Amino acid sequence: MEKEKPSGRVPLGEPLAGDLADFCTAHYGAPEREIIRAAVRSFIDSQLDTEPELRKRYDAAKKARLGGGQPKVVKLGSTGE
């Protein structure tokens, strides 16, 4: 069974949603999406750098999500019929 992809917007709840809005305003009107992307990337990288077992599980999950890391081969041309 295929895992569902994240739907997009995550309800942050207060006070975090308000803090994000205030930060975006203070950061020259930066889009929430860009701030969230930078924060998530920073968090993931930090956690993976400090927890080797988490890194192994993450790498395995990513490889599985990407199809096991094997390129998909599609044969083109004659089917021999």
As a dihedral over the C-alpha atoms of residue 15, residue 50, residue 31, residue 11, rounded to 10 degrees, the angle is -40
11-65 pLDDT, tens per residue? 899 999 999 999 999 999 999 999 999 999 999 999 999 999 999 999 999 999 9
Confidence of residue 81 (pLDDT cuts 50, 70, 90): low
Asked whether the predicted pLDDT for residue 1 surpasses 60, the reply is no
20 closest CA partner among 36, 6, 43: 36
Q: How far apart, in Å, are the Cα atoms of 76 and each of 45, 51, 72, 80?
A: 40, 44, 13, 11
In the block, tokens 């890391």 appear at 69
In the block, tokens 């207060």 appear at 14
The whole-number pLDDT of residue 10 equals 78
Could you tell me the pTM of the whole model? Answer: 0.67
